Chains A and B, each alone.
Chain A
Amino acid sequence: MARTRHPSPQTARLLLALAAAPNAWHYGYELSRATGLRSGTLYPILIRLARDGYLETRWLDPDRPGRPPRHVYRLTGTGRELARNALARPSTQPAVAR
Protein backbone atom coordinates (compact mmCIF):
# COMPACT_ATOMS: atom_id res chain seq x y z
CA MET A 1 0.00 0.00 0.00
CA ALA A 2 1.23 3.46 -0.81
CA ARG A 3 2.48 5.53 2.04
CA THR A 4 0.46 8.65 2.74
CA ARG A 5 3.11 10.74 4.44
CA HIS A 6 4.12 13.97 2.82
CA PRO A 7 7.04 13.82 0.44
CA SER A 8 10.47 14.94 1.51
CA PRO A 9 12.06 18.03 -0.08
CA GLN A 10 14.15 15.75 -2.29
CA THR A 11 11.06 13.87 -3.44
CA ALA A 12 9.28 17.13 -4.02
CA ARG A 13 12.20 18.35 -6.10
CA LEU A 14 12.00 15.23 -8.20
CA LEU A 15 8.24 15.52 -8.57
CA LEU A 16 8.70 19.08 -9.74
CA ALA A 17 11.17 17.99 -12.39
CA LEU A 18 8.91 15.20 -13.56
CA ALA A 19 5.82 17.40 -13.51
CA ALA A 20 7.54 20.06 -15.58
CA ALA A 21 6.98 17.86 -18.62
CA PRO A 22 4.40 15.34 -17.43
CA ASN A 23 3.90 13.60 -20.76
CA ALA A 24 7.58 13.23 -21.57
CA TRP A 25 9.80 10.33 -20.59
CA HIS A 26 12.76 11.33 -18.45
CA TYR A 27 16.17 9.69 -18.15
CA GLY A 28 17.78 9.09 -14.77
CA TYR A 29 20.86 11.19 -15.43
CA GLU A 30 18.72 13.97 -16.85
CA LEU A 31 16.64 13.97 -13.66
CA SER A 32 19.79 13.96 -11.56
CA ARG A 33 21.04 17.06 -13.32
CA ALA A 34 17.68 18.79 -13.20
CA THR A 35 17.19 18.18 -9.49
CA GLY A 36 20.76 18.23 -8.28
CA LEU A 37 20.19 14.90 -6.55
CA ARG A 38 22.95 12.33 -6.49
CA SER A 39 22.22 8.87 -7.79
CA GLY A 40 22.20 7.43 -4.28
CA THR A 41 19.34 9.76 -3.38
CA LEU A 42 17.57 9.86 -6.72
CA TYR A 43 17.15 6.16 -7.39
CA PRO A 44 15.71 5.14 -4.02
CA ILE A 45 13.09 7.85 -4.53
CA LEU A 46 12.38 6.67 -8.08
CA ILE A 47 12.09 3.10 -6.84
CA ARG A 48 9.69 4.11 -4.09
CA LEU A 49 7.55 6.21 -6.41
CA ALA A 50 7.37 3.41 -8.97
CA ARG A 51 6.53 0.84 -6.30
CA ASP A 52 3.73 3.03 -4.98
CA GLY A 53 2.27 3.55 -8.43
CA TYR A 54 3.19 7.20 -8.87
CA LEU A 55 5.68 6.54 -11.60
CA GLU A 56 5.67 4.43 -14.72
CA THR A 57 8.86 3.09 -16.18
CA ARG A 58 9.95 1.53 -19.43
CA TRP A 59 13.06 0.73 -21.43
CA LEU A 60 13.53 3.11 -24.32
CA ASP A 61 15.56 2.27 -27.39
CA PRO A 62 18.43 4.69 -27.85
CA ASP A 63 18.43 7.41 -30.45
CA ARG A 64 22.13 6.83 -31.06
CA PRO A 65 23.21 3.52 -32.57
CA GLY A 66 25.37 1.24 -30.48
CA ARG A 67 23.98 2.45 -27.17
CA PRO A 68 21.93 0.09 -25.01
CA PRO A 69 18.29 0.84 -24.18
CA ARG A 70 17.81 3.14 -21.19
CA HIS A 71 15.30 3.25 -18.39
CA VAL A 72 12.91 6.19 -18.57
CA TYR A 73 10.33 7.53 -16.14
CA ARG A 74 7.04 9.39 -16.29
CA LEU A 75 4.43 10.35 -13.71
CA THR A 76 1.19 8.40 -13.67
CA GLY A 77 -2.15 10.08 -13.06
CA THR A 78 -1.88 9.61 -9.32
CA GLY A 79 1.72 10.74 -9.52
CA ARG A 80 0.67 14.01 -11.09
CA GLU A 81 -1.87 14.46 -8.36
CA LEU A 82 0.79 13.78 -5.76
CA ALA A 83 3.04 16.30 -7.44
CA ARG A 84 0.32 18.93 -7.44
CA ASN A 85 -0.44 18.34 -3.76
CA ALA A 86 3.20 18.28 -2.77
CA LEU A 87 4.04 21.46 -4.61
CA ALA A 88 1.03 23.19 -3.11
CA ARG A 89 2.37 22.61 0.40
CA PRO A 90 4.80 25.30 1.51
CA SER A 91 6.74 22.87 3.73
CA THR A 92 7.65 20.70 0.77
CA GLN A 93 8.54 23.43 -1.66
CA PRO A 94 11.77 22.28 -3.21
CA ALA A 95 14.90 24.33 -3.12
CA VAL A 96 16.11 25.75 -6.38
CA ALA A 97 17.76 23.03 -8.38
CA ARG A 98 21.23 23.45 -9.75
Chain B
Amino acid sequence: MAGHRFDRLAGHLARGLLATLAWWVGRPGREWLEAMRRELPELPGGRAQLRWALGGLRAAPALRRMRARRPELGWGRFVVHTLLGAPRPPEPRLPDPRPEPWPARGAFGLALLAAFLAGGAVAALRGLLEDSPYRFNAGVGAPAGIHPDLANPLSLAWDGVVLASTVELAAVLAAALLFLRLALDPSARRRWRHLRTALVAVATLLWLVLSAAVLWGAIAHLSAPALFDRPPRGEYLTWRSWLAIVLVLTAAALTASGAILRLPGRGAPPRSG
Protein backbone atom coordinates (compact mmCIF):
# COMPACT_ATOMS: atom_id res chain seq x y z
CA MET B 1 0.00 0.00 0.00
CA ALA B 2 2.78 2.40 0.97
CA GLY B 3 4.69 1.35 -2.12
CA HIS B 4 1.65 2.07 -4.28
CA ARG B 5 1.29 5.51 -2.74
CA PHE B 6 4.94 6.24 -3.23
CA ASP B 7 4.60 5.13 -6.84
CA ARG B 8 1.74 7.55 -7.39
CA LEU B 9 3.63 10.33 -5.67
CA ALA B 10 6.65 9.62 -7.87
CA GLY B 11 4.40 9.81 -10.92
CA HIS B 12 3.05 13.16 -9.78
CA LEU B 13 6.56 14.40 -9.16
CA ALA B 14 7.69 13.24 -12.60
CA ARG B 15 4.88 15.09 -14.35
CA GLY B 16 5.40 18.15 -12.19
CA LEU B 17 9.14 18.17 -12.76
CA LEU B 18 8.84 17.98 -16.54
CA ALA B 19 6.08 20.55 -16.62
CA THR B 20 8.14 22.89 -14.45
CA LEU B 21 11.19 22.42 -16.64
CA ALA B 22 9.06 22.97 -19.73
CA TRP B 23 7.87 26.25 -18.30
CA TRP B 24 11.40 27.19 -17.27
CA VAL B 25 13.04 26.60 -20.63
CA GLY B 26 10.45 28.66 -22.50
CA ARG B 27 9.85 28.36 -26.18
CA PRO B 28 10.92 26.69 -28.42
CA GLY B 29 12.65 24.14 -26.17
CA ARG B 30 9.37 23.46 -24.37
CA GLU B 31 8.31 21.12 -27.13
CA TRP B 32 11.04 18.65 -26.21
CA LEU B 33 10.20 18.51 -22.54
CA GLU B 34 6.56 18.16 -23.42
CA ALA B 35 7.61 15.29 -25.67
CA MET B 36 9.31 13.64 -22.69
CA ARG B 37 6.23 14.17 -20.60
CA ARG B 38 4.00 12.54 -23.19
CA GLU B 39 6.07 9.37 -22.88
CA LEU B 40 5.36 9.02 -19.16
CA PRO B 41 2.17 6.94 -19.49
CA GLU B 42 4.17 4.34 -21.41
CA LEU B 43 6.62 3.79 -18.56
CA PRO B 44 5.92 1.08 -16.02
CA GLY B 45 5.29 2.71 -12.65
CA GLY B 46 5.91 5.99 -10.95
CA ARG B 47 9.53 5.27 -10.07
CA ALA B 48 10.40 4.64 -13.70
CA GLN B 49 8.52 7.80 -14.63
CA LEU B 50 10.50 9.79 -12.10
CA ARG B 51 13.80 8.39 -13.40
CA TRP B 52 12.69 9.32 -16.91
CA ALA B 53 11.71 12.83 -15.82
CA LEU B 54 15.04 13.38 -14.06
CA GLY B 55 16.63 13.11 -17.49
CA GLY B 56 14.92 16.36 -18.29
CA LEU B 57 17.34 18.09 -15.94
CA ARG B 58 20.18 17.29 -18.34
CA ALA B 59 18.30 18.51 -21.39
CA ALA B 60 16.80 21.63 -19.86
CA PRO B 61 19.85 23.96 -19.75
CA ALA B 62 20.54 23.50 -23.46
CA LEU B 63 16.86 23.96 -24.24
CA ARG B 64 16.71 27.13 -22.20
CA ARG B 65 19.45 28.63 -24.32
CA MET B 66 17.24 28.05 -27.35
CA ARG B 67 14.37 30.09 -25.97
CA ALA B 68 12.92 33.04 -27.75
CA ARG B 69 13.73 36.56 -26.62
CA ARG B 70 10.24 37.29 -25.45
CA PRO B 71 8.69 34.24 -23.86
CA GLU B 72 4.96 34.58 -23.55
CA LEU B 73 5.01 33.76 -19.84
CA GLY B 74 7.70 35.68 -17.98
CA TRP B 75 8.47 35.70 -14.28
CA GLY B 76 6.66 38.96 -13.66
CA ARG B 77 3.43 37.87 -15.29
CA PHE B 78 3.61 34.48 -13.63
CA VAL B 79 4.04 36.00 -10.16
CA VAL B 80 1.15 38.39 -10.71
CA HIS B 81 -1.09 35.62 -11.96
CA THR B 82 -0.16 33.40 -9.05
CA LEU B 83 -0.56 36.02 -6.34
CA LEU B 84 -3.86 37.26 -7.68
CA GLY B 85 -5.15 33.79 -8.43
CA ALA B 86 -5.90 34.94 -11.96
CA PRO B 87 -8.02 32.44 -13.80
CA ARG B 88 -5.85 31.37 -16.70
CA PRO B 89 -2.20 32.25 -17.20
CA PRO B 90 -1.31 32.18 -20.91
CA GLU B 91 -1.15 28.63 -22.19
CA PRO B 92 2.01 27.54 -23.95
CA ARG B 93 1.63 27.16 -27.67
CA LEU B 94 2.18 23.57 -28.62
CA PRO B 95 1.67 21.69 -31.83
CA ASP B 96 -0.88 19.67 -29.94
CA PRO B 97 -4.29 21.32 -30.14
CA ARG B 98 -5.20 19.93 -26.72
CA PRO B 99 -2.42 20.82 -24.31
CA GLU B 100 -2.56 19.07 -20.98
CA PRO B 101 -2.87 21.03 -17.74
CA TRP B 102 0.36 22.13 -16.17
CA PRO B 103 0.78 20.90 -12.60
CA ALA B 104 3.88 23.02 -12.37
CA ARG B 105 1.66 26.04 -12.00
CA GLY B 106 0.21 24.67 -8.79
CA ALA B 107 3.49 23.39 -7.42
CA PHE B 108 5.20 26.65 -8.18
CA GLY B 109 2.30 28.57 -6.69
CA LEU B 110 2.57 26.49 -3.53
CA ALA B 111 6.26 27.17 -3.14
CA LEU B 112 5.89 30.80 -3.99
CA LEU B 113 2.97 31.48 -1.69
CA ALA B 114 4.42 29.52 1.21
CA ALA B 115 7.69 31.36 0.92
CA PHE B 116 6.02 34.68 0.42
CA LEU B 117 3.60 34.37 3.30
CA ALA B 118 5.94 32.81 5.82
CA GLY B 119 8.83 35.04 4.84
CA GLY B 120 6.66 38.10 4.73
CA ALA B 121 5.27 37.50 8.20
CA VAL B 122 8.69 36.90 9.70
CA ALA B 123 10.23 39.87 7.94
CA ALA B 124 7.38 42.10 9.02
CA LEU B 125 7.69 41.05 12.63
CA ARG B 126 11.45 41.01 12.85
CA GLY B 127 12.42 44.02 10.82
CA LEU B 128 9.82 46.45 9.72
CA LEU B 129 7.65 46.46 12.81
CA GLU B 130 10.38 46.73 15.38
CA ASP B 131 10.90 50.27 14.14
CA SER B 132 7.29 51.07 13.43
CA PRO B 133 6.46 54.76 13.88
CA TYR B 134 3.16 53.64 15.39
CA ARG B 135 4.82 51.59 18.06
CA PHE B 136 3.67 53.74 20.93
CA ASN B 137 0.26 54.46 19.51
CA ALA B 138 -2.19 52.59 21.69
CA GLY B 139 -5.35 53.42 19.74
CA VAL B 140 -7.56 50.52 18.74
CA GLY B 141 -6.81 49.55 15.16
CA ALA B 142 -4.50 52.51 14.83
CA PRO B 143 -1.30 50.61 14.13
CA ALA B 144 -2.39 49.54 10.70
CA GLY B 145 -4.76 52.42 10.19
CA ILE B 146 -7.73 50.10 10.22
CA HIS B 147 -11.17 51.01 11.46
CA PRO B 148 -12.18 49.12 14.64
CA ASP B 149 -15.06 47.46 12.79
CA LEU B 150 -12.48 45.69 10.68
CA ALA B 151 -9.82 45.48 13.33
CA ASN B 152 -11.95 43.43 15.70
CA PRO B 153 -12.63 40.51 13.33
CA LEU B 154 -8.99 40.54 12.34
CA SER B 155 -8.08 40.48 16.00
CA LEU B 156 -10.26 37.43 16.51
CA ALA B 157 -8.72 35.72 13.49
CA TRP B 158 -5.26 36.55 14.79
CA ASP B 159 -6.11 35.04 18.15
CA GLY B 160 -7.43 31.99 16.37
CA VAL B 161 -4.15 31.54 14.59
CA VAL B 162 -1.76 32.23 17.44
CA LEU B 163 -3.72 30.37 20.10
CA ALA B 164 -4.77 27.46 17.90
CA SER B 165 -4.51 24.06 19.49
CA THR B 166 -2.55 21.20 17.98
CA VAL B 167 -5.78 19.53 16.88
CA GLU B 168 -6.99 22.66 15.13
CA LEU B 169 -3.69 23.12 13.38
CA ALA B 170 -3.67 19.51 12.30
CA ALA B 171 -7.22 19.83 10.95
CA VAL B 172 -6.37 22.95 8.97
CA LEU B 173 -3.30 21.34 7.49
CA ALA B 174 -5.14 18.12 6.71
CA ALA B 175 -7.93 20.02 4.96
CA ALA B 176 -5.42 21.99 2.93
CA LEU B 177 -3.50 18.87 1.95
CA LEU B 178 -6.73 17.11 1.01
CA PHE B 179 -7.73 20.02 -1.17
CA LEU B 180 -4.34 20.03 -2.88
CA ARG B 181 -4.47 16.28 -3.38
CA LEU B 182 -7.88 16.56 -5.02
CA ALA B 183 -6.51 19.29 -7.22
CA LEU B 184 -3.60 17.07 -8.25
CA ASP B 185 -5.81 14.09 -9.00
CA PRO B 186 -7.19 14.33 -12.53
CA SER B 187 -9.73 11.59 -11.87
CA ALA B 188 -11.35 13.77 -9.19
CA ARG B 189 -12.12 16.55 -11.59
CA ARG B 190 -15.45 15.18 -12.75
CA ARG B 191 -16.72 14.67 -9.22
CA TRP B 192 -15.67 18.10 -8.09
CA ARG B 193 -16.47 20.08 -11.19
CA HIS B 194 -19.74 21.46 -9.87
CA LEU B 195 -18.06 22.60 -6.67
CA ARG B 196 -15.08 24.15 -8.36
CA THR B 197 -16.26 27.73 -8.30
CA ALA B 198 -17.25 27.57 -4.65
CA LEU B 199 -14.02 25.87 -3.66
CA VAL B 200 -11.91 28.39 -5.48
CA ALA B 201 -13.81 31.25 -3.86
CA VAL B 202 -13.47 29.75 -0.38
CA ALA B 203 -9.79 29.03 -0.87
CA THR B 204 -9.09 32.53 -2.05
CA LEU B 205 -11.06 34.02 0.82
CA LEU B 206 -9.28 31.82 3.35
CA TRP B 207 -5.93 32.84 2.00
CA LEU B 208 -6.77 36.53 2.09
CA VAL B 209 -8.28 36.47 5.58
CA LEU B 210 -5.45 34.50 7.11
CA SER B 211 -2.80 36.60 5.46
CA ALA B 212 -4.47 39.82 6.51
CA ALA B 213 -5.08 38.57 10.05
CA VAL B 214 -1.54 37.40 10.62
CA LEU B 215 0.11 40.47 9.16
CA TRP B 216 -2.26 42.89 10.82
CA GLY B 217 -2.14 41.01 14.11
CA ALA B 218 1.62 41.15 14.11
CA ILE B 219 1.59 44.86 13.43
CA ALA B 220 -1.09 45.58 15.98
CA HIS B 221 0.41 43.41 18.69
CA LEU B 222 3.85 44.92 18.44
CA SER B 223 2.79 48.49 18.07
CA ALA B 224 -0.26 48.56 20.34
CA PRO B 225 0.02 45.79 22.94
CA ALA B 226 -2.80 47.30 24.98
CA LEU B 227 -5.19 46.32 22.23
CA PHE B 228 -4.69 42.70 23.12
CA ASP B 229 -4.57 43.05 26.90
CA ARG B 230 -1.99 40.32 27.11
CA PRO B 231 1.35 39.67 28.78
CA PRO B 232 4.50 41.07 27.18
CA ARG B 233 5.33 39.89 23.71
CA GLY B 234 8.01 37.45 24.83
CA GLU B 235 5.48 35.53 26.92
CA TYR B 236 2.61 35.82 24.50
CA LEU B 237 4.36 35.02 21.25
CA THR B 238 6.11 31.80 22.17
CA TRP B 239 7.80 29.44 19.74
CA ARG B 240 4.54 27.59 19.47
CA SER B 241 2.75 30.73 18.33
CA TRP B 242 5.36 31.21 15.65
CA LEU B 243 4.91 27.63 14.59
CA ALA B 244 1.15 28.14 14.42
CA ILE B 245 1.58 31.20 12.23
CA VAL B 246 3.85 29.39 9.82
CA LEU B 247 1.64 26.28 9.72
CA VAL B 248 -1.55 28.19 9.12
CA LEU B 249 0.01 30.31 6.42
CA THR B 250 1.41 27.20 4.81
CA ALA B 251 -2.03 25.62 4.89
CA ALA B 252 -3.48 28.72 3.30
CA ALA B 253 -0.81 28.58 0.62
CA LEU B 254 -1.55 24.89 0.01
CA THR B 255 -5.22 25.64 -0.38
CA ALA B 256 -4.65 28.61 -2.63
CA SER B 257 -2.25 26.57 -4.75
CA GLY B 258 -4.84 23.87 -5.11
CA ALA B 259 -7.35 26.47 -6.20
CA ILE B 260 -4.97 27.87 -8.77
CA LEU B 261 -4.07 24.41 -9.95
CA ARG B 262 -7.64 23.38 -10.56
CA LEU B 263 -8.39 26.19 -12.96
CA PRO B 264 -6.35 25.20 -16.00
CA GLY B 265 -7.65 21.61 -15.95
CA ARG B 266 -10.96 22.41 -17.57
CA GLY B 267 -10.14 21.12 -21.03
CA ALA B 268 -7.91 18.26 -19.99
CA PRO B 269 -8.31 15.05 -21.93
CA PRO B 270 -9.46 12.07 -19.88
CA ARG B 271 -6.79 9.79 -18.56
CA SER B 272 -6.90 6.15 -19.43
CA GLY B 273 -5.37 3.22 -17.61
Chain A residues close to B by CB (< 8 Å): 27-29, 32, 38-44, 46-47, 57-59, 64-71
Contact A43 B59 (CB under 8 A): yes
**A39-B55, A66-B269 known; A47 and B62 CB under 8 Å?**
yes
Which one of A39, A58, A65, A66 has the greatest number of beta carbons of chain B within 10 Å?
A39
**What's the least CB distance linking B6 to chain A, in Å?**
20
Chain A, Cβ-Cβ closest to B96: A69
The size of the chain B interface, using a CB distance under 8 A, is 30
B52 on the A face (CB < 8 A): yes
Q: Is the interface of A mostly helix, strand, loop or mixed?
A: mixed
Contact A27 B272 (CB under 8 A): no
Chain B residues close to A by CB (< 8 Å): 29, 31-32, 34-36, 38-39, 41-43, 51-59, 62-63, 95-96, 98, 100, 269-272
**What's the least CB distance linking A34 to chain B, in Å?**
13
Distance in angstroms between the alpha carbons of A27 and B55 in the assembled complex:
16
Contact B58 A41 (CB under 8 A): yes
Question: CB-CB < 8 A to A65: which residues of B?
Answer: 272
Question: CB-CB < 8 A to B95: which residues of A?
Answer: 58-59, 69
Question: CB-CB < 8 A to B63: which residues of A?
Answer: 47
**What's the least CB distance linking A16 to chain B, in Å?**
20
Question: CB-CB < 8 A to A38: which residues of B?
Answer: 51, 55
Question: CB-CB < 8 A to B54: which residues of A?
Answer: 39-40
Question: CB-CB < 8 A to A46: which residues of B?
Answer: 32
Distance in angstroms between the alpha carbons of A7 and B54 in the assembled complex:
24
Distance in angstroms between the alpha carbons of A47 and B56 in the assembled complex:
12
Contact A41 B55 (CB under 8 A): yes
Question: CB-CB < 8 A to A70: which residues of B?
Answer: 35, 38-39
Distance in angstroms between the alpha carbons of A57 and B42 in the assembled complex:
19
Distance in angstroms between the alpha carbons of A45 and B57 in the assembled complex:
14
**What's the least CB distance linking A15 to chain B, in Å?**
19
Distance in angstroms between the alpha carbons of A17 and B57 in the assembled complex:
24
Question: CB-CB < 8 A to A57: which residues of B?
Answer: 35
Question: CB-CB < 8 A to B96: which residues of A?
Answer: 59, 68-69
Contact B41 A39 (CB under 8 A): no
Residue B56 contacts which of A40, A66, A69 (CB distance < 8 angstroms)? A40
Contact B270 A66 (CB under 8 A): yes
**A38-B51, A39-B52, A43-B32 known; A68 and B38 CB under 8 Å?**
yes
Contact A68 B98 (CB under 8 A): yes
**What's the least CB distance linking B35 to chain A, in Å?**
3
**What's the least CB distance linking A14 to chain B, in Å?**
14
Chain B, Cβ-Cβ closest to A60: B38
Distance in angstroms between the alpha carbons of A20 and B211 in the assembled complex:
61
Distance in angstroms between the alpha carbons of A64 and B272 in the assembled complex:
9
